[in-house]
């Protein structure tokens, strides 16, 4: 690979597909294409349902629409390079395009983490303080929280992405994924990257890790409240309202922690394993979230059944 011997800064990186499976990469893209189609169509469907159903114009579903938008953002962020590699054999990406892609990926990841935190607070108030729910969770507060989420991710990501331009890159400029991630690009720099590493660690600690801790705290309080309910039927009904969100939390944070552990401790793991973990982290949550909420949320199920019934009747 000619790019692996470059000893000075190059304006281009080389993206990889699954190592050793290049001969069948067109077939490998079939499940990726399926995941893209399910994720994009599913999240668009959720947005359309919420938009066209007045009974879903509530804070909980406004937050769900924001989650669907962040999932769409993650899909669109990785689609160009993944499509280019598998279908057009285009592995090269300019440094500026790589910066834009990693900015989008990390911004939408931070946004999704924050949206899940706000949704957990929504569920906490709904179960632990049901009589005060309409007073605490208002449309105006949800809009303000949404605006904070929208700006928080990009503002936190801009410094570490822009600072990459100031570094020199030597040796290999081959990335082990089909998209650009900051934690991988920064390892290719041959100058001191202490500030970027510390700043990146601080951003993760005060966004993703803090969000996870607060989500866990919310569910701890929810469990205490549910356990104090009189009957098992009330307990089941109360916890049933959280199952969709809890599944979304697990689907997002478990692959993220797995990818972090692989980058931290799996340096000698096969490259295909690194690529698989990164793809699971970025592709699976956007694909599963609309399916989870369609199955687990009663109101969305009703709208879907009503929609299918009207469509069948009109035909």
Answer yes or no: is 3 within a domain: no
In a domain, 172, yes or no: yes
Q: Where are the beta strands (DSSP E) in the chain?
A: 12-14, 92-94
Which residues pair with residue 94 across a beta bridge? 12
Q: Are 103 and 161 in contact (CB under 8 A)?
A: yes
Pair 122, 60: CB distance under 8 Å: yes
Domain assignment present for 315: no
- The whole domain housing 71 covers 12-304
Q: What CATH number should be reported for the domain holding residue 207?
A: 1.20.1070.10
Q: Walk along the chain (315 residues) and give the pLDDT tens digit of each residue.
A: 444 444 345 568 888 876 666 666 677 778 888 888 999 999 999 999 999 888 889 999 999 999 999 999 999 999 888 888 878 778 888 988 999 999 999 999 999 999 999 999 999 999 999 899 999 999 999 999 999 989 999 999 999 898 888 888 876 788 878 888 888 888 888 888 888 888 888 988 888 999 999 999 999 999 998 888 778 887 888 888 888 999 999 999 998 888 777 766 666 777 777 777 888 888 899 999 999 998 888 888 887 777 766 555 555
pLDDT in tens, 235-287: 888 888 888 999 999 999 998 888 777 766 666 777 777 777 888 888 899 99
- Assess if residue 309 is contained within a domain: no
d(CA 308, CA 61): 21
Instruction: Determine which helix (DSSP H) or strand (DSSP E) holds 80, and give its type and residue range.
Output: helix 59-88
| Number of independent structural domains in the chain | 1
310 occurs within a structural domain? no
**pTM for the full predicted model:** 0.89
Task: Give one DSSP letter per residue of 126-176, joined into a string.
Answer: HHHSGGGHHHHS-HHHHHHHHHHHHHHHHHHHHHHHHHGGGS-B-S--B-S
Tell me whether residue 1 is in a domain: no
């Amino acid at each position: 690979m000619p790019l692996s011997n470059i000893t000075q800064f190059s304006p281009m990186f080389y993206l990889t597909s699954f190592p050793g499976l290049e001969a069948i990469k067109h077939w490998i893209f079939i499940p990726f294409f399926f995941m893209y189609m399910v994720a994009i169509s599913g999240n668009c469907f959720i947005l359309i349902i919420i938009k066209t159903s007045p009974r879903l114009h509530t804070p909980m579903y406004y937050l769900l629409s924001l989650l669907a938008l962040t999932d769409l953002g993650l899909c669109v962020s990785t689609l160009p390079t993944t499509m280019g590699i598998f279908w057009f054999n285009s592995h090269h990406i300019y440094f500026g395009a790589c910066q834009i892609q990693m900015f989008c990926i990390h911004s939408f990841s931070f946004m999704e983490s924050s949206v899940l935190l706000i949704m957990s607070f929504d569920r906490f108030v709904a179960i632990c303080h049901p009589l005060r729910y309409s007073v605490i969770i208002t449309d105006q507060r949800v809009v303000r929280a949404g605006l904070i989420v929208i700006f928080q991710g990009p503002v936190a990501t801009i410094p570490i992405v822009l600072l990459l331009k100031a570094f020199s890159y030597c040796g290999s400029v081959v990335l082990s994924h089909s998209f650009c991630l900051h934690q991988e690009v920064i390892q290719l720099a041959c100058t001191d990257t202490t500030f970027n590493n510390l700043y990146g660690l601080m951003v993760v600690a005060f966004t993703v890790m803090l969000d996870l801790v607060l989500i866990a705290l919310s569910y701890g309080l929810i469990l205490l409240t549910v356990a104090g309910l009189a009957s098992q039927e009330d307990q089941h009904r109360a916890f049933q309202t959280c199952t969709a969100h809890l599944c979304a939390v697990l689907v997002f944070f478990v692959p993220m922690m797995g990818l972090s552990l692989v980058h931290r401790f799996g340096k000698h793991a096969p490259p295909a394993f690194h690529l698989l973990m990164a793809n699971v982290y970025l592709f699976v949550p956007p694909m599963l979230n609309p399916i989870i909420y369609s199955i687990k949320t009663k109101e969305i199920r009703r709208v879907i059944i009503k929609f299918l019934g009207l469509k069948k009747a009109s035909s």
